[in-house]
Amino acid sequence: MKIYVRDGVIVSKGSEDRVIDTEGLVALPGLVDLHTHLREPGREDAETVLTGSRAAALGGYTAVCAMANTSPVADTAGVVEQVYRLGQEAGLVDVQPIGAVTVGLKGEHLAELGAMADSAARVRIFSDDGHCVHDPRLMRRALEYVKAFDGVIAQHAEEPRLTDGAQMHEGEVSDRLGLTGWPAVAEESIIARDVLLAAHVGARLHVCHVSTEGSVEIIRQAKAHGIRVTAEVTPHHLLLTHDLASSYDPVYKVNPPLRTSRDVEALREGLRDGTIDIVATDHAPHAVEDKECEWAYARPGMLGLETALSIVLDVFGEDWELITDRMSVRPAQIAGLAQHGRQLKKGEPANFTLIDPTARWTVEPQGLASLSHNTPYAGMKLPGRVVHTYLRGVPTVRDGRVEK
């Protein structure tokens, strides 16, 4: 099997300027991550747009959506354009900035959503991720307002009054460890409210990092009622459980927290049946000092870009149709990225990744391209390896090595 490319587009044999041999490899449209923390501007010691782009390309991604919780916050046209431009300069993946919903992520006043939408970054997804837009009136207005430019609010569903000081999933493990619990109902109550708000104003809602069985059920019902809601699940919530906190190693601290095996099962089922639309990494790099400390003082978050595909392969096996849909086609649709998540056929943009499904590799934190090392999969042997990734016909990863 060969793919013929010319001027960044897939062409028929004979008119190409580049031939890519896919012998023994699985070709997928480039993966699209709807939830990436690139940390630039502000925490360039943890990750930059360039290093995050490298990690993304190595993970098989051709597009990532950069979350707004940078410093300064991406709540103005200026900041989203800066991130957009940095992404173009890096040139390894398309970096699509996400704009903040509220000024400074403070949950008080709407940011200039229209200005961000009209900017060069053409922002369509807005999120206060890391914080919940918890004021119901503000959430309603945000959902309503972005209809003008077909925007979507990506909600970090966490009722803050129920998670004050929360450190991990509330359950028998948190009881035993003496760590303040983050109850499932804090997520579920916000999702239930938000799907009703979205229905009321006829808007689109996207739910970030769904983590509980109850959330899956609420979204399933909302979809059955025709409410325009989409949802994502992270690789770590598909695999890991709260028992890992027993080590008190903050590499397992993440928000929302790792939950029970029952939740993991429900999330897998939700992704299989389409209740959950996509896998998104919530790639969250953190500097060493923010993780090598007491659990309560550590920042929540885990790396994800370079391991996501392997984790999904590990959980679901070689279900390439599922992987293509949930990791490329659907996220591109939700984000409105027309050049991504397309079929690999003549006339389509040459954004794709080639995977060796038989390869197995061991995760070494120091071996990852990300500037940070906070992977929860250290030492794990995982299936599937990205061999080549192409962005508009140009290799960003060749033989497992990033091009710049």
Partner 1 sequence: MRHLLSAGDLDAAQATEILDIAANLAAVSGREIKKLPTLRGRTVVNLFYEDSTRTRISFEAAAKRLSADVINFSAKGSSVAKGESLKDTAWTLQAMGADAVVIRHPASGAPHRLAHWVDGSVLNAGDGTHEHPTQALLDAYTIRQRMGKIDGLRVSIVGDVLHSRVARSNVLLLQTLGAKVTLVGPPTLVPPSLGETNYDLDDVLPESDVVMMLRVQRERMNDSYFPSAREYSRRYGLDGARLRRMPEHAIVMHPGPMNRGMEITPEVADSPRSTIVEQVTNGVSVRMACLYLLLGGKL
Q: Which of 14, 137, 178, 321 binds partner 1 (CB under 8 A)?
A: 178
- Which of the 8 DSSP states describes residue 275? S
Residue whose tokens read 């028992």 = 243
Spell out the residues 6+ positions from residue 367 whose beta carbon is closer than 8 angstroms to its own. none
Task: Name the minimum Å distance from CB 198 to partner 1.
Answer: 31
Q: At closest approach, how far in Å is the CB of 176 from partner 1?
A: 7
Q: Is 261 in the site for partner 1 (CB under 8 A)?
A: no
172 vs 265, which CB is nearer to partner 1? 172
User: 295 or 316, CB closer to partner 1?
Assistant: 295
Residue 175 Cβ vs partner 1, minimum distance, rounded to whole Å: 4
Closest to partner 1 by CB, 89 vs 175, is: 175
Q: Give the 3-state secondary structure of residue 369.
A: coil
Q: Name the residue nearer to partner 1 (CB basis): 59 or 257.
A: 257
Stretch that binds partner 1, among 209-217, 247-255, 310-318, 380-388 (CB under 8 A): 247-255
Residue showing tokens 């999904």: 312
State which of residues 176, 200, 225, 381 lies at the interface with partner 1 (CB under 8 A): 176
Q: Which stretch binds partner 1 (CB under 8 A): 62-70, 211-219, 292-300, 316-324?
A: 292-300
Q: Which stretch binds partner 1 (CB under 8 A): 285-293, 311-319, 352-360, 370-378?
A: 285-293
- Regarding 226 and contact with partner 1 (CB under 8 A), the answer is no
Site string for partner 1, 297-326 (x = CB under 8 A): x-----------------------------
Closest listed residue to residue 152, CA positions, set 103, 190, 208: 208
Give catalytic status of residue 21 as yes or no.
no
| 225 burial via Cβ count (<10 Å: 0-12, 13-18, 19+) | exposed
CA distances (Å), origin 236, targets 63, 246, 264, 311, 403: 20, 17, 9, 8, 28
User: Shortest approach of partner 1 to residue 287 CB, angstroms?
Assistant: 12
Q: Where are the alpha helices (DSSP H) in 212-276?
A: 213-224, 235-239, 261-273
Shortest approach of partner 1 to residue 177 CB, angstroms? 6
Q: Of the candidates 177, 185, 359, 378, which one interacts with partner 1 according to CB under 8 A?
A: 177
Q: Tokens for 81?
A: 């354009």
> Rounded to the nearest 5 degrees, what angle is found at the Cα of 122, between the Cα atoms of 116 and 127?
55
> Which of 14, 226, 294, 399 touches partner 1 (CB under 8 A)?
294
| Separation between Cα atoms, residue 200 and residue 275, nearest integer Å | 20
- State how far the Cα of 168 lies from the Cα of 245, in Å rounded to an integer: 8
Identify the residue among 1, 120, 148, 293 touching partner 1 (CB under 8 A). Answer: 293
Active-site position among 75, 129, 263, 282: 282
Q: Which long-range contacts (CB under 8 A, 24 or more apart) does 164-170 make?
A: 166/257, 167/253, 167/257, 167/295, 167/296, 168/242, 168/245, 168/253, 168/257, 168/258, 169/242, 169/245, 169/257, 169/258, 169/259, 169/260
Q: Indicate whether 376 belongs to the interface with partner 1 (CB under 8 A).
A: no
Which residues from 135-174 bind partner 1, rule CB under 8 A? 167, 171-172
**3-state SS string over 128-187?**
CCCCCCCCHHHHHHHHHHHHHHCCEEEECCCCHHHCCCCCEECCHHHHHHCCCEECHHHH
Contact stretch for partner 1 (CB under 8 A) within 44-52, 289-297, 331-339, 375-383: 289-297
Q: Whose Cβ is closer to partner 1: residue 277's or residue 290's?
A: 290
| Subset of residues 96 to 125 that bind partner 1, contact rule: CB under 8 A | none
> What does the DSSP assignment read for 258-270?
PB-HHHHHHHHHH
Summarize as ranges the residues that interact with partner 1 (CB under 8 A): 167, 171-172, 175-180, 247-249, 289, 292-297
Name the residues annotated as catalytic. Answer: 282
